[in-house]
Amino acid sequence: MNGTLQIAVKRLKMMTAKAEMEFAVEVEVLGRVRHKNLLGLRGFYAGGEERLIVYDYMPNHSLLNHLHGQLAKDCLLDWPRRMSIAIGAAEGLGRFDLEQLKSVIMIAIRCTESNPEKRPSMVEVVEWLKGGIGRRKKEIPNLIHTNGDDNYEENYGEIRITQSKLKIPSHDDKLRIR
For residue 43, the domain's CATH number is 3.30.200.20
* Average pLDDT of the residues in 34-53: 83
User: What's the CA gap between 32 and 69, in Å, rounded?
Assistant: 32
Nearest to 89 by CA among 157, 161, 153: 161
Contact call for residues 137 and 144 (beta carbons, < 8 A): yes
Return the beta strands (E) in the chain as ranges.
Answer: 7-11, 41-47, 50-56, 160-161, 166-167
41 part of a folded domain: yes
Please check whether residue 83 lies inside any domain of the structure: no
Residues of the domain holding 24: 7-56
Look at the chain and report how many structural domains it folds into: 2
| Dihedral sign from CA coordinates of 27, 33, 38, 39 | positive
Is pLDDT at 141 greater than 70 in this prediction?
no
When pLDDT is averaged across residues 7-24 and rounded to a whole number, the result is 85
For 147-178, the pLDDT digits (tens) are: 444 333 333 344 443 333 434 444 444 444 43
> Would 63 be classed as within a structural domain?
no
Q: What is the mean pLDDT of residues 98-119?
A: 81
pLDDT, tens only, 80-93: 887 888 888 877 77
